[in-house]
Chains A and B, each alone.
Chain A
Amino acid sequence: MSKLLKDYRIGCLLAALIAMLVLFLYPSKQQKSPTYNYTFIIDITRSMNATDYQQDKQAVSRLHFVKQTLRELLRDLPCESKVGLGLFTERRSTLLFEPLEVCSAYTEIDTAISKIDWRMAWAADSNIAKGLLSTLDMLKKSDSSVIFITDGQEAPPVNPNYQTDFSTIKGQAKGMIIGVGGLQAVPIPKFDSQGKQTGFYSHDDVPHRSSFGQSNLDPSQMKGYNARNAPFGSEAATGNEHLSALQETYLEKLGAESGLAYARLTDLKNLSRALKNPKLATEKIVQTDIRRQPALLALLMLSLVYLPRVYLFRQFFSLIPRLQFGRR
């Protein structure tokens, strides 16, 4: 028997067998890993057609870039994360589907995102603050984080006297505002009913000032002011509302008022980092496969048995039984 034990190969094989036993007894480990539950609300108003993103050296629209980035993000999300989708236009948003598990419904979510089109808009205004409030209100019972993706272009402009009050939902909502677009103002493309571009919105196409409700301006400064008939004066307003840029300060303000964080969409990496905010993650216990470790050990041991001509090595192993069993 002692001679047998002198053979290091027996030791190696035994170790390999023990490793395999461990492998079958403890194949997996419980591990906490973060999963996410997002409801993406995508702004599909006209200003999202402005082309100020670059992709493959081609100018692409904000909406196209958002869609592309979200589809790439979808591949990044860990299984058991959920994604829902909604659209924003006018003063509110609609939900297309409730959050779905990303791995089992990948194709469905991916197709649905790819089919989003600005022509799905059921009305033309772009009242972002009100839209954000109604969206947060609509989804406050859901445990999904609202990811509101917009360029912050209010059309028509908001009268500062009538600002949206977020106090009712502040602190209840979980989510983020993602700003889209460049900081440089660019023209907004105009399309005909067949979907062909027919130029850009010009200065005369859009209102440059809110003419709703009571004026916020000083009557004495206004030309042609009449409290009843011309509360905003008689002069036509001028402005740059026909051009669109990402309104970062405005969105940051909305974020602060509604208790949502703000991030700007530049590329997938930044978006992914912003969205993987631990505040938006839920720790789920998942079974992780750990069979590799004992299997590697067994492989090592078995390879040692068949490793050709390693004299030093053999001498080392043949020493061990001698030490143990002495010179009996």
Chain B
Amino acid sequence: MNWAVNTPWALTGLLLALLPLFNSGMRTSPASWTALIPGDALSAFVVCCLRLCAVAAIAGLVLGIAGLHRTEQSRKRIGHGAHIVLLLDRSSSMDNTFAGHAPNGSDESKSTAARRLLTDFVKQRQNDLIGFAEFSTSPLFVMPLTENKNAVTAAIAATATPALGFTHVSKGLGMAISFFEQQPVTGSRIVLLVSDGAAAIDHDSEQKLRLWFKQQQIRLYWIFLRTAGSPGIFDQPEDSRDDNAGAMPELYLHKFFLGLGSPYQAYEAESPDALKQAIADINQLENLPMHYVERIPKEDLSAACYSVAAFLLLVLFGVKFCEVKR
């Protein structure tokens, strides 16, 4: 029970609630000698009740004026869901279509498709905490892990602005992993990487990423948006001279992810439909039991205070007509 008031100084009004203890609030009738009147337990009880009514009515009004409310509560629950960091490629090529052209009326660009489908995905995942990061030449922290789906969709919508620079995937992954620091390990922890290209990762970064993925127990999903005619993640080099990270970064990034030792799944999407399929897959897979916190919003109790006070006032008013008149 976390109760609080909006204006604490108004609580000094509670002193007024002491008034009925000193004064019965009733008209006095003259009596020749009060000692003559015999003591009556019932009368004493009724008077006491009436005074208490008055005390409660005054206290109710003061609490109402002070704005009594119950603060926002959180309740731990167990449900199905995950902590997901969406890591979106903002490199310039994302603004082209799957066919590699600038978008015209009929085909949407890769970023538009990703935006549309990710928004749907976020809306479906009710219990999840979702964070959002972007990367191009450098990583961008956008939205921390949050249950506020509006915030995540606002961040996804903002990617409608033109894309930036190049693909620097290792920094992006580092940024995405950093989201899980200081978060309890519960349910599954996912990094969902959506990109249309890859880049060679230098040795230092490789080692760091390996360590971090293990430490944070992260599952990685990579949705590779493949542009027509470009090498895919599952292609094998035809010429052994091309078998290096510089010529085939996609394949080598895939190999690196496979060697991470943490659960990893790659999807190659060559059209918006394939992207949709991949997202639906992940939606199905990631429903491990997890603890999550349900928020119960702040509840205003001043209305209840006023109602009680009004009722007691009515009682006091009614009782006034029962007084003996002389």
Q: Which of B16, B142, B310 contacts A20 (CB 8 A)?
A: B310
Are B20 and A14 in touch, CB under 8 angstroms? no
- Chain A proximity mask over B11-30: 1 for CB below 8 Å, otherwise 0: 00100100110110111000
Are A17 and B150 in touch, CB under 8 angstroms? no
In the bound complex, what is the Cα–Cα distance between A295 and B302 (angstroms)? 11
Q: Which residues 1-59 of B have a CB within 8 angstroms of A?
A: 13, 16, 19-20, 22-23, 25-27, 54, 57-58
Q: Which residues 274-328 of A have a CB within 8 angstroms of B?
A: 291-292, 295-296, 298-299, 302-303, 305-309
Instruction: Give the chain A neighbours of B285 by CB distance below 8 A.
Output: none
In the bound complex, what is the Cα–Cα distance between A298 and B317 (angstroms)? 13
Are B54 and A121 in touch, CB under 8 angstroms? no
Q: Which of A7, A84, A100, A308 contacts B27 (CB 8 A)?
A: A7
Instruction: Give the chain B neighbours of A122 by CB distance below 8 A.
Output: 136-138, 164-165
Q: Which of A3, A84, A107, A308 contacts B325 (CB 8 A)?
A: A3
In the A-B complex, the 10 residue pairs with the smallest Cβ-Cβ separation, listed nearest first, are A115-B141, A306-B19, A97-B155, A95-B158, A20-B310, A122-B137, A308-B23, A122-B165, A111-B144, A108-B151
Instruction: Give the chain A neighbours of B165 by CB distance below 8 A.
Output: 122-123
Chain B residues packing against A (C-beta within 8 Å): 13, 16, 19-20, 22-23, 25-27, 54, 57-58, 61-62, 64-65, 90, 136-144, 146, 148, 150-151, 154-155, 157-158, 161-162, 164-165, 302-303, 306, 309-310, 313-314, 316-317, 320-321, 323, 325-326
Are B313 and A84 in touch, CB under 8 angstroms? no
Given A20-B306, A23-B306, check contact A299 B144 (CB 8 Å): no
Q: Distance in Å from the Cβ of B207 to the closest Cβ of chain A? A: 15
Instruction: Give the chain B neighbours of A87 by CB distance below 8 A.
Output: 140
Are B64 and A97 in touch, CB under 8 angstroms? no
Are B320 and A9 in touch, CB under 8 angstroms? yes
Q: Which of A17, A100, A299 contacts B65 (CB 8 A)?
A: A299
Given A95-B161, A298-B309, check contact A306 B20 (CB 8 Å): yes
Are A94 and B161 in touch, CB under 8 angstroms? yes
15 contacts between A and B (CB under 8 A): A16-B313, A94-B90, A95-B158, A97-B155, A97-B157, A98-B158, A101-B150, A104-B148, A107-B144, A109-B151, A122-B138, A123-B164, A298-B61, A306-B19, A307-B19
In the bound complex, what is the Cα–Cα distance between A84 and B150 (angstroms)? 13
- Chain B proximity mask over A105-146: 1 for CB below 8 Å, otherwise 0: 101110110011101111100000000000000100000000
Given A98-B158, A296-B65, check contact A108 B25 (CB 8 Å): no
Are A92 and B142 in touch, CB under 8 angstroms? no
Interface size on A, residues (CB 8 A): 54
In the bound complex, what is the Cα–Cα distance between A143 and B57 (angstroms)? 49
Are B151 and A105 in touch, CB under 8 angstroms? yes
In the bound complex, what is the Cα–Cα distance between A14 and B323 (angstroms)? 16
Instruction: Give the chain A neighbours of B61 by CB distance below 8 A.
Output: 295, 298-299, 302
Are A112 and B65 in touch, CB under 8 angstroms? no
Are B58 and A303 in touch, CB under 8 angstroms? yes
Are B154 and A100 in touch, CB under 8 angstroms? yes
Q: Which of B65, B148, B164, B314 contacts A295 (CB 8 A)?
A: B65
Instruction: Give the chain A neighbours of B90 by CB distance below 8 A.
Output: 94
* 19 more CB-based (< 8 A) A-B contacts, given A291-B306, A306-B25: A7-B320, A13-B316, A17-B314, A20-B309, A20-B310, A27-B303, A86-B158, A94-B161, A97-B142, A98-B157, A105-B148, A108-B144, A109-B151, A122-B164, A291-B302, A298-B313, A299-B16, A306-B54, A307-B23
Q: Distance in Å from the Cβ of B318 to the closest Cβ of chain A? A: 10
In the bound complex, what is the Cα–Cα distance between A101 and B27 (angstroms)? 57
Q: Is A175 engaged at the interface, CB distance under 8 Å to the other chain?
A: no
Q: Is A96 engaged at the interface, CB distance under 8 Å to the other chain?
A: yes
Are B158 and A112 in touch, CB under 8 angstroms? no
In the bound complex, what is the Cα–Cα distance between A95 and B154 (angstroms)? 10
Give the residue name and chain of the A residue nearest to B158 (CB).
A95
In the bound complex, what is the Cα–Cα distance between A27 and B157 (angstroms)? 39
In the bound complex, what is the Cα–Cα distance between A308 and B25 (angstroms)? 8
Give the residue name and chain of the B residue nearest to A134 (CB).
B162
In the bound complex, what is the Cα–Cα distance between A265 and B158 (angstroms)? 27
Are A112 and B19 in touch, CB under 8 angstroms? no
Q: Distance in Å from the Cβ of B156 to the closest Cβ of chain A? A: 9
Instruction: Give the chain B neighbours of A119 by CB distance below 8 A.
Output: 138
Are A108 and B148 in touch, CB under 8 angstroms? yes
Q: Which of A94, A100, A291, A305 contacts B64 (CB 8 A)?
A: A291
In the bound complex, what is the Cα–Cα distance between A4 and B64 (angstroms)? 31
Q: Is A10 engaged at the interface, CB distance under 8 Å to the other chain?
A: yes
Instruction: Give the chain A neighbours of B136 by CB distance below 8 A.
Output: 122
Q: Is A24 engaged at the interface, CB distance under 8 Å to the other chain?
A: yes
In the bound complex, what is the Cα–Cα distance between A112 and B16 (angstroms)? 47
In the bound complex, what is the Cα–Cα distance between A101 and B325 (angstroms)? 62
Most chain B CB inside 10 Å of its own CB: which residue of A17, A112, A138: A112
Give the residue name and chain of the A residue nearest to B300 (CB).
A289
Instruction: Give the chain A neighbours of B65 by CB distance below 8 A.
Output: 292, 295-296, 299
Q: Distance in Å from the Cβ of B190 to the closest Cβ of chain A? A: 19
Q: Is A99 engaged at the interface, CB distance under 8 Å to the other chain?
A: yes
Are B313 and A13 in touch, CB under 8 angstroms? yes
Are A94 and B164 in touch, CB under 8 angstroms? yes
Are A107 and B146 in touch, CB under 8 angstroms? yes
Instruction: Give the chain A neighbours of B19 by CB distance below 8 A.
Output: 303, 306-308
Q: Distance in Å from the Cβ of A210 to the closest Cβ of chain B? A: 23
Are B310 and A100 in touch, CB under 8 angstroms? no
Instruction: Give the chain B neighbours of A16 by CB distance below 8 A.
Output: 313
Instruction: Give the chain A neighbours of B314 by CB distance below 8 A.
Output: 17
In the bound complex, what is the Cα–Cα distance between A119 and B168 (angstroms)? 13
In the bound complex, what is the Cα–Cα distance between A111 and B143 (angstroms)? 8
Are A112 and B313 in touch, CB under 8 angstroms? no
Q: Distance in Å from the Cβ of A282 to the closest Cβ of chain B? A: 19
Give the residue name and chain of the A residue nearest to B165 (CB).
A122
Instruction: Give the chain A neighbours of B146 by CB distance below 8 A.
Output: 107-108
